[in-house]
């Protein structure tokens, strides 16, 4: 796989800013950027706690989900998983972080779908109906399917962006991005991992759909699901290649189980 840099990189030059977790707990997600090269690059870390350091594995989730999206043929933001040394509050940590590049075309400006919908919606039009009217239903179906397979908890209105080109008077949706809060992201111990039910219909944030990924998947036309490519056990296993030294085998096994079972369940929905 060419989406992991395993050799330790010196990333201590990055300056990190905090984004509080929506749950209001003690941790935070740290982000940084580097605009010294030809293309601006963005970086993010997994869940960080000032006391315990980097405690999450959301960056690994981004790589797993992007590999799944590659198999499905869905457009998405490309991430690179980098093994690096970072400095936060005068402390150094060896960790894995995600790198991505700006996905806007020259001349495009971005706005969250939530804000765009507020400006452009008609009467009592729902976000889902709004997207259908704009011709974005295929995007929504791909998003619903992805979020169901990995139990993405964080598809709020700012995690979908509209890219606007004022000169060409064209609008398009950004590629799918930000899948860190998915899979077994809240399992930090072996005990939590063992108790985790991969098929539980947990409450999620979903601006376009409902708070249930299962209910959202039921909004997808059967004809669309019938044309999806086949995913077999061998394909799903490839999603985790090269990650055995990054995250424990028990985590890989649980996430493998989740994607496999949720994919197989589509026939019965």
Instruction: Over range 123-142, report the average pLDDT.
Output: 96
* pLDDT digit string, tens, across residues 44-71: 999 999 899 999 999 999 999 999 999 9
Q: What is the pLDDT of residue 55?
A: 92
Distance CA 233, CA 113 (A): 35
Pairing state between β 41-44 and 91-101: antiparallel
Distance CA 240, CA 259 (A): 11
**Tokens in use for 170?**
């064209």
Which 8-state DSSP code applies to residue 105?
P
Element (H, E) at 30: strand 28-34
* pLDDT digit string, tens, across residues 71-108: 999 999 999 999 999 999 999 999 999 999 999 999 99
Which 8-state DSSP code applies to residue 212?
B
Residues 160, 143: contact at Cβ < 8 Å?
Answer: yes
Residues 37, 90: contact at Cβ < 8 Å?
Answer: no
Alpha helix positions (H), the chain = 58-72, 113-120, 127-133, 137-150, 190-195, 213-217, 222-226, 233-238, 249-265
Instruction: Over range 187-207, report the average pLDDT.
Output: 96
Question: What is the percent of the chain where pLDDT is above 70?
Answer: 96
Distance CA 106, CA 153 (A): 32
Q: What is the pLDDT of residue 19?
A: 67
Residues contacting 241, CB < 8 A, separation 6+: 1
**Tokens in use for 252?**
């890989």
CB burial class (10 A; 0-12, 13-18, 19+) of residue 214? Answer: middle
DSSP of 47-79: -EETTTEE---HHHHHHHHHHHHHHHT--B---
Q: Is 268 helix (H, G, I), strand (E, B) or coil?
A: helix
- Radius of gyration, CA atoms only, the chain: 19
Most confidently predicted of 20-24, 78-82, 234-238:
78-82
């Amino acid at each position: 796989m060419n989406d992991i840099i395993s050799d330790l990189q010196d990333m201590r030059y990055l300056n990190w800013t905090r984004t509080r977790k929506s749950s209001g707990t003690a941790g935070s997600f740290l982000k940084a950027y580097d605009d010294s090269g030809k293309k601006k690059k963005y970086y993010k870390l997994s869940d960080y706690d000032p006391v315990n350091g980097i405690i999450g594995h959301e960056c690994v989730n981004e790589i797993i989900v992007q590999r799944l999206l590659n198999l499905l043929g869905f457009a998405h933001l490309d991430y690179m998983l980098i093994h690096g040394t970072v400095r936060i509050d005068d402390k150094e940590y060896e960790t894995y972080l995600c790198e991505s590049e700006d996905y806007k075309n020259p001349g495009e400006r971005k706005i969250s779908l939530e804000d765009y919908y507020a400006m452009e919606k008609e009467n009592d039009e729902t976000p889902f109906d709004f997207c259908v009217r704009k011709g974005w239903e295929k995007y929504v179906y791909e998003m619903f399917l992805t979020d169901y397979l990995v139990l993405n908890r964080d598809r709020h209105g700012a995690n979908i962006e509209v890219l606007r080109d004022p000169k060409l008077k064209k609008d398009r949706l950004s590629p799918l991005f930000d899948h860190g809060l998915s899979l077994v992201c809240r399992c930090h111990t072996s005990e939590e991992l063992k108790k985790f039910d991969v098929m539980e219909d947990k409450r999620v944030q979903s601006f376009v759909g409902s708070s249930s990924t299962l209910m959202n998947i039921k909004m997808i036309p059967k004809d669309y699901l019938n044309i999806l490519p086949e995913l077999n056990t061998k394909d799903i296993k490839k999603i985790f290649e090269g990650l055995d030294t990054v995250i424990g085998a028990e985590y890989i096994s649980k996430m493998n189980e989740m994607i496999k079972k949720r994919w197989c369940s589509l026939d019965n929905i």
